[in-house]
A and B are shown apart, each in its own frame.
Chain A
Amino acid sequence: MTIRHEPERHTQGAGEPAEGLTRREAVVRLSSAALAAAAVGAGTLGFFERRRASAAEPAIRDWRLPVQGEAARAVAARGADAAANVRRALAALGGMERFLRRGETVLLKPNVGWDRLPEQAANTDPLVVAELVRLCRAAGAARVIVADISCNDPGRCFARSGIAAAVAAAGGEALDARRLPMAAASLPGAAAGLEVIEQLLTVDRVINVPVAKHHGLSRVTLGMKNWFGVLGRGRNRLHQDIDRSIAELGAIFRPTLTVIDATRVLLDNGPQGGSLDDVKAVGAVAAGVDPVLLDAWGAVQLGVKPRQLGFLVEAEKRGLGKGDPGLVQELGKA
């Protein structure tokens, strides 16, 4: 049995037909209007709440491993051979095997920001990066990738710095910074809303490998400042309150290991440098698990007292590490 509904006319008055609007049409139109209003409302809410929505983005992992027993938190090795300094420092920390497990993927984050030669000390020394790649591979890492978001043309930076060739020769993989995939991540503070290098969200371990050098704004750039190089477009806004931003980055990115390259240090006109006059050969590498302590050691290599650095004071206040360079175990010259 079927029921046939006759169109029912709305009337404006007794016996007076409305302008052709049936009840069904009215229902359809009202529903459409309600749907449209809901869509606009949801869109508006989404737009204004996008910052909160980013909380649902993947968080940055903590890549640290627990420090066992009386193991040193940071050690420094000195000598003319940069690769040997890396090996000695890592050996004193218990070997690379202590920091990664067989089959893991490791990301190295050197400073490759500038189209400069190794002698100009604006980028991490390629010998330091290559030795870390070798040690990671020897410790059983399945894959060692090297990434940085350069300031100058990335192709030129990776080539001129010698890092692309050194990494390839050591069995690592320098990611093509011209086509680096970026991903949204849940970042608090000044970095909120910025994208990060996508691989950071998937790798097992991360080793931060900055070069120690002068910086026009923060006085020095070391490990915690080096995290600027994993952030995408818009990271310049972090310069507004540089000390706080650096400490914030130190709280967000917790690397498995930090290795400070002081093979050559740039004493002036940083971060890009250029003049060989501004470069001092220090011949040292420090490695460890306390990023604040290592930044404090790096500052000393640049002739700067750690207490004079706002970001170090702030990082120590936040409990990210100890800012006393005297706690770094010096291994002396090879």
Chain B
Amino acid sequence: MAVRPGPVHAVLLLALAGAVGLVLTRGRRTREDPAAVLAALRQAQGPRLPAAGRAGASLLGEPARYDRDRLYELIDGAADAYLARGFERCVAATFGVGRVEVAAEAHRFGSEAGARAQLDAERPRRAGPVAGLAAVSDGSVLLAVSGRDLLKLTALSAGPGAGEALAVLAAAWEEGRRP
């Protein structure tokens, strides 16, 4: 039985044309701006840990990722303060830098202000600036903010060399974030 074209078919055809047009427009816009594509990809990747190779460090185990629902699994009762400041997601891992082991967490916030507020809240009382880096450290913990990301490094080995290990990892992190 032959089907005669009717108004319904016209509406469906119009909707299809609209969808194709939307995809083409967005695709062209993205193709025309490779920097925007790169930025969008970076954004989608989420926060990044320091590159172990760049720091002369080794990654001990697999990095673990957390979102707003799972942050409690990483930091338990401290999570509320992060969430209140716009925490979005984070990645955490342990590094070996020489004889020093370091716990690293890279947290992404909704805004740079949120990341900075968290840094201020956690800043150790005797923390000072780290030479050549936008970071503060007291030798056992280092905190750095870049854009919307907060890097928190905690030395897990006592004794000399801990502060240097934190600085090396923080430098690798900053370097890796440069375009």
Contacts and interface: CB of A to CB of B under 8 A. Distances in A.
A250 interface: no
| Interface SS majority for chain A | loop
Interface in B113-159: 122, 124-127, 138-141, 152, 154, 156-158
A119 B158 contact: yes
B75 A217 contact: no
Contacts of A275: 124, 127, 138, 140-141, 154
A117 interface: yes
B50 to A, nearest CB: 17
A156 B81 CA distance: 25
A275 B124 CA distance: 6
Contacts of B152: 274
B124 A271 contact: no
Taking each of B61, B73, B76, B80, which has the highest tally of chain A beta carbons within 10 Å of its own beta carbon? B76
Interface string B67-92: 00000111111111100000000000
A277 B61 CA distance: 28
Contact of B72 (A215, A236, A276): A236
B128 to A, nearest CB: 11
A274 B154 contact: yes
On chain B, which size bracket covers the interface? 20 to 34
Contact of A156 (B76, B94, B124): B94
A116 interface: yes
A274 B122 CA distance: 10
Interface in A253-305: 268-272, 274-278
B140 A271 contact: no
Contacts of B79: 216, 239
Contacts of B61: 153
A151 interface: yes
B138 A218 contact: no
A160 interface: yes
On chain A, which size bracket covers the interface? 20 to 34
Contacts of A152: 74, 103
Interface in B51-65: 61
A271 B103 contact: no
Contact of B77 (A116, A218, A274): A218
Contact of A277 (B78, B124, B156): B124
Interface string A197-235: 000000000000000000111100100000010000000
Nearest to A269: B122
Nearest to A233: B73
Interface string A102-129: 0000000000010111011000000000
B156 A160 contact: yes
B97 to A, nearest CB: 16
Nearest to A119: B158
B140 A277 contact: yes
Contacts of B77: 215-218, 221, 239, 242, 270-271
Contact of B81 (A113, A216, A218): A216
Contacts of A274: 103, 140-141, 152, 154
B126 to A, nearest CB: 5
Contacts of B73: 151, 236
B84 to A, nearest CB: 10
Interface of A: 113, 115-117, 119-120, 151-153, 156, 160, 215-218, 221, 228, 236, 239, 242, 268-272, 274-278
Given A152-B103, A277-B138, A277-B141, 18 more contacts: A119-B158, A152-B74, A160-B156, A216-B79, A216-B81, A217-B80, A236-B73, A268-B125, A271-B76, A272-B75, A274-B103, A274-B141, A275-B127, A275-B138, A275-B154, A276-B138, A277-B126, A278-B125
